[in-house]
Structure 1
Amino acid sequence: MSAQPVHGGTPDHPKVPRTIGGISGALRGSRRAQFFAELLEAHQGTELDGVLNAWWGRAMLDTDPDRDRIRAAAEAGTLPTTTMEQILRRRQERTAQ
């Protein structure tokens, strides 16, 4: 199973580079300051890697053009959802074809 990017980028060249500059450039508003605050407090190694990984995910979300619509739907409880069983069933149906 592989994940395909929704809005640009490839596994080799993601839309947001997994670098300090790439992440900070993609973050919206005050989130950039929060990122730098956590970054400056992190120790080199697994702690710093954890900060970069967490904020890279947030930066990817910040670059999604549907972000505001999806967030509003999630907060309103109207975001379509699916169960793991439904996902597995669809996957099995696709591989059987």
Structure 2
Amino acid sequence: MSAQPIHPREPDRVPRNAEGIAAALDSVRRIDFYRELLAAAPEDAEAVLRRWWCEAMLDTDPSGDRFTEAALNGTLPTKSVAVAVARRQAAGLPVE
């Protein structure tokens, strides 16, 4: 018997490598990304890739404009930290 995920995982919009990240960024941000990656010490390169992957994922989020507009209009639903912590605890997730 093989273990199957409960929720099938969608592939990432942006591949988790330098080429995928660069392709998802506009030209100005792509230059900044490469500049930072090339200047990073080998032990810091993974953190640079991780940060820029997050940026690229946000930039390519199809809902991004809708969330930005809601935030600027003051209509974005929010919740308190206490509610978020309680929800994580109820799900058995860490809250450190």
Counterpart AA for 1:20: A
Counterpart AA for 2:77: P
SS of equivalent to 1:10: coil
Establish whether residue 16 from structure 1 lines up as the match of residue 14 from structure 2. Answer: yes
Q: Answer whether contact 1:70 1:79 (CA < 8 A) is retained.
A: yes
Q: What is the match of residue 83 of structure 1?
A: 80
Counterpart AA for 2:9: T
Aligned residues: 85
The C-alpha deviation readout for 1:41-71, integer Å capped at 9, x for no partner, is 11112x1111101000011111111212222
TM-score (structure 1 length as normaliser): 0.66
TM-score (structure 2 length as normaliser): 0.67
- Structure 2 unmatched runs, 5+: 1-6, 92-96
Q: Percent identity?
A: 43
Establish whether residue 57 from structure 1 lines up as the match of residue 57 from structure 2. Answer: no
Q: What is the match of residue 27 of structure 1?
A: 25
